[in-house]
Chains A and B, each alone.
Chain A
């Protein structure tokens, strides 16, 4: 039954090329992805400037602006802090503005950040609003090649983390990647067969697949140390944690939406002058 599903399902390819220096990415003939970056209100990963350099659109969700303002200069301790702050200006700051500090708000507003101050809908969180905004405000972009990178989605209060993970499910037709210093997370939607091209200089080997939305009756993988073969996965029983990537290409095919996570090899070489 799984093989019949496989024939009908389109393949979706994933590659964390946003973790490679821009010079390396452009030198190779990779299909162009357009990146957007959303910065939430947790400590930024050390490689945030690299993500920033890949992104065409950079959005801070409310207190995420504090994190850029305070955090990016610390990543370039030998450089003039104000110069760094001037180089990392978000395009947009969105949210209900109850976390952003007044001096940070003023600094970015004066330097051209679009401040969208709307406490409209209390049913959706900051990340949800930012994803919706990106989708609506970029009609000219090819959304099938859009990948939204998110920092600060994990850690802190568990209900915030769960709400952010839920955003991956709500927008399951979009490419959204959560990044922290330790790992990255994506949703592998059940609608597709997935190929993950491992960038082994920057990611792995630890990985996992989790059916947090609901059990999987049948999941099959290739390229992992402990591959699944029509395996059932559910909470309370077996889920794939502490697995390892064994090959440069990992494939996943499942009847359920799965969260894929892979560890990062830090430090990530950014290849940036500042």
Chain B
């Protein structure tokens, strides 16, 4: 492994309840949130509060409209919806309900019809939009959080994972109730600062798209040491974080996944 590879740090501090936020290492990131068309995870409000830009991809607007009031059952649904209004709704708009679209249009939300573009998925369009529009000059300080990308139709899930590979220079995290995943691009060596109150211990490293001839790790129960990984051979699943700093170095792009602890308190 080239020792000169630049180090990239990762920390899921966006999952920490607000009062536990300290000056994080790495330096503060600017977050954006993209909501896709699956049931919202229970910690969606936490991510919403971190984000400076919030985008719904098509039917994700339905999920926001229906799902946020469900997460605050003691509150007036209309008030909850007004608090959780996206900046933009984007995509081919074949899933968003008319009543939902009208509600957000009346609030001044930009609704952008991109049904003319059939070459890219809704997530791809939203990531491109966020990358161009987010209030941050240095893209390495931008982190795009995505809910609703995992589960559901398998080709959608795989298409969403491919967006991580296509935008490998951007920090994009896919989150579900059970786990999160993000890319560890081969261009860097990686340090993952595990947020033990909210994530772990189950984790994995998966070479999606191309095998790895050599991957090395520290901080895991079953560390890799110049180990080859491939589909059909060994992939690292059901691993366990043993330390709060995990290092990963590889010749291939890897998907890092870690379980999310339940429940996450708001």
Contact = CB atoms under 8 A, between A and B. Distances in A.
A159 B202 contact: yes
B158 A241 contact: yes
Interface string B156-186: 1011011001101000000010110100000
A30 interface: no
B76 to A, nearest CB: 33
A206 interface: yes
A100 B67 CA distance: 32
A268 to B, nearest CB: 16
B237 A242 contact: no
B232 A162 contact: no
A125 B235 CA distance: 12
B209 A215 contact: yes
Interface string A148-159: 000000111111
A14 interface: no
Most chain A CB within a 10 A radius of its CB, from B153, B168, B178, B179: B153
A158 B179 contact: yes
A104 interface: no
B235 A214 contact: no
Contacts of B210: 214-215, 234-235
B206 interface: yes
Contact of B257 (A159, A165, A180, A214): A159
B153 A162 contact: no
Contact of A158 (B155, B162, B181, B230): B181
Interface residues of A, number: 40
A210 B179 contact: no
Contact of B155 (A157, A166, A208, A257): A208
A183 interface: yes
Contacts of B150: 158
A210 B235 CA distance: 18
B72 interface: no
Given A156-B178, A166-B235, A235 B208 contact: yes
Given A166-B235, A213-B231, A236 B155 contact: no
A158 B258 CA distance: 8
Contacts of A208: 154-155, 158-159
B178 A157 contact: yes
Given A160-B237, A235-B162, A263 B206 contact: no
B253 A236 contact: yes
Interface in B209-234: 209-211, 230-233
Nearest to B211: A214
Contacts of A163: 204, 235, 237-238
A213 B255 CA distance: 13
B249 interface: no
The 6 A-B residue pairs with the shortest CB-CB distance, nearest first, are A235-B209, A159-B204, A208-B155, A213-B231, A241-B159, A169-B232
9 contacts: A154-B151, A158-B204, A158-B255, A163-B204, A183-B153, A213-B231, A235-B253, A236-B209, A237-B166
